[in-house]
Chain A
Amino acid sequence: MIETDIIIIGAGPCGLFTVFEAGLLKLRCHLIDALPQAGGQLTEIYPKKPIYDIPGFPEVLAGDLIHNLMAQAAPFKPGFTLGERCESFQVDDDGKFIVTTSKGTLHKAPIIAIAGGLGSFEPRKPPISNIADFEDKGIEYIVRDPNFYKDKKVVISGGGDSALDWAHFLANGVAKEVTLIHRSKSFRGHPDSVQKAMDMAEAGKIKLITDAEVVGINGSDKLSSITIKHLPEGETTVETDHWLPLFGLSPKLGPLADWGLNIDKNSIEVNTFDYSTNIPGIYAIGDINNYPGKLKLILCGFHEATLMVQSAFKRIYPDKNYVLKYTTVNGVNGF
């Protein structure tokens, strides 16, 4: 069991800055994020994009901002649970929260700060009505273990790096047969990934089907074939053991939607006094919260984090007096 003062759900810019502000109050933090690295959408979606509205930075790359926030938080030694999604929470006998992740890791703290941004990033699922019936029965959105596909027939859909790279990898003596299906003729992956996959298609190791998409899934208790719609017309059926639709990730509110929080339009309603939710001890800050006048800006999230930790401090230490201190006077004293 990981114990801390504040469990921060979401290791994006807002969550990271919470570590700093909490640290000034001598509160320790542990961050949990479904992605395998810190930074949220800044590192996952647009690390090389410049941001122009961070006060004091006329221009900063999203990836650099995260790097700086990590350095700023470092004196306060935050803990990280990465690559695990928060699933549920319960309240222990001593009134503290216990948060469980998708891998079963347990975290305990008197305060939860949800800084989940747009939600957790999850695979984009093709809109085929019976797709859920075949998940993990032949359809996988993520390749967890390539050997799982040893000597199997595999169909991969998608035109990006992950589709190309896995097609190339699995066709190289792992799977019995690899078919790559893409909606257009051109692939958008890294030129090197495209070239490798095209070379293998030419050598007959990957069966390439372009201008086509999968529209049907067939099988009884597990996947047996897929139906492909060709552009401009025509349908064919391909027998396969597995179908990997690799269409990238999109953010979803996920299990947080079932936590009993007041939710409106995919965001969590908070009181702007201290960004508390309807559950005492649980706060929501940054893009994931909602209040009259809300703006989804990183700089607003920083402000929310700062006020939120003051309230968290008073909740943990109701009898301690606290006076705001300036970092210019005392510096940053870590743990």
Chain B
Amino acid sequence: MENIINITLIDREGKEHNLEAPTDMNMNVMELCKSYELPVEGTCGGMAMCATCQVYVLSEHELPEKSDDEEAMLDQAFFVQQNSRLGCQIHLTNELDGLRLQLADSVD
């Protein structure tokens, strides 16, 4: 379908979810997860200020560079790995079709 991509998200119990993601709604991965009622808090609303939407990127997709805000937040967060990103900073675009993500553990 036009402007719909598929993203695979593995939750904290290891269960895979196939998410249909619209790319014309100005949405990000955190919002997508919330729309599927997956356990993502998104406490700060998407300002890269809480890390409750941290994900690990499992596929080889080329993602936009991290902003200073995102780098700073990941510096303060827990369970951070090399492939950590904040879901709220990954904007859904057609290039991300087939993206595989895993929810990071959360203390919040």
Answer whether residue B108 sits at the interface, using C-beta atoms and an 8 A cutoff. Answer: yes
**With A124-B107, A127-B107, A183-B80 as contacts: A46 and B47 at CB distance below 8 Å:** yes
Which residues in B have their C-beta under 8 angstroms from that of A252?
A: 108
Which residues of A in the span 70-104 have a Cβ within 8 Å of any Cβ on B? none
Contact residues in B for A158 (Cβ distance below 8 Å): 76
Complex: chain B residue closest to A187, CB-CB: B75
B72 to chain A, nearest CB (A): 4
> Cβ of B76 and Cβ of A45 under 8 Å apart?
no
Alpha-carbon gap, A247 to B79, bound state (A):
13
> Contact between A160 and B76 (Cβ–Cβ < 8 Å)?
yes
Cβ of B49 < 8 Å from any Cβ of A?
Answer: yes
Are A46 and B49 closer than 8 Å at their CB atoms? yes
Is B36 an interface residue, CB under 8 A from the partner?
no
Interface residues of A in 115-135 (CB under 8 A from B): 118, 124-127
Assuming the contacts A45-B44, A45-B49, A250-B43, asked whether A126 and B78 have C-beta atoms less than 8 A apart, the reply is: yes
Contact with B along A237-251 (1 / 0, CB 8 A): 000000000011011
Contact B105 A247 (CB under 8 A): no
CB neighbours of B68 from chain A (8 A): 188
CB distance from B33 to the nearest CB of A (A): 15
The interface on chain A, measured as residues whose beta carbon lies within 8 A of the other chain's beta carbons, has a size of 24
User: How far is B74's CA from A184's CA once the two chains are assembled, in angstroms?
Assistant: 10
CB–CB A127/B43 < 8 A = no
Residue interface mask A159-202, B partner, CB < 8 A = 1: 11000000000000000000000111011100000000000000
Main DSSP-derived SS at the B contact region? loop
> What B residues does A186 contact at CB under 8 A?
71, 75
Chain B residues, CB < 8 A from A314: none
A150 within 8 A of B: no
**How far, in angstroms, from A247 to B107 measured CA to CA in the complex?**
12
Give the residue name and chain of the B residue nearest to A46 (CB).
B47
Residue B50, interface by CB 8 Å:
yes
In whole angstroms, how far apart are the Cα atoms of A250 and B42 in the complex? 12
Identity of the chain A residue whose Cβ is nearest the Cβ of B49 in the assembled complex: A45
How far, in whole Å, are A124 and B44 apart by their CA atoms in the complex? 14
Please, which residues of chain B bring their CB within 8 A of the CB of A124?
Answer: 76, 78, 107
**Are B78 and A250 in contact, CB atoms less than 8 angstroms apart?**
no
CB within 8 Å for A45 and B107 given contacts A188-B72, A188-B75, A248-B76: no
Other-chain residue from B44, B50, B72, B79 in contact with A127 (beta carbon distance below 8 A): B79
Is A294's beta carbon under 8 Å from chain B? Answer: no
Alpha-carbon distance A45/B107, docked complex (angstroms): 19
A49 CB-CB contact with B under 8 Å: yes
B47: A residues at CB distance < 8 A? 45-46, 49
> Can you report 23 residue pairs joining A to B where beta carbons are below 8 Å apart?
A45-B44, A118-B43, A124-B76, A126-B78, A126-B107, A127-B78, A127-B105, A158-B76, A159-B75, A159-B76, A160-B72, A160-B76, A183-B80, A184-B75, A186-B75, A188-B71, A188-B76, A247-B76, A247-B77, A247-B78, A250-B43, A250-B50, A250-B108
Known: A124-B76, A188-B75, A247-B77; 6 extra A-B contacts, CB below 8 A, are A46-B49, A158-B76, A187-B75, A247-B78, A248-B76, A250-B108
Q: Taking beta carbons and an 8 Å cutoff, which residues of A are in contact with B? A: 41, 45-46, 49, 118, 124-127, 158-160, 182-184, 186-188, 247-248, 250-252, 296
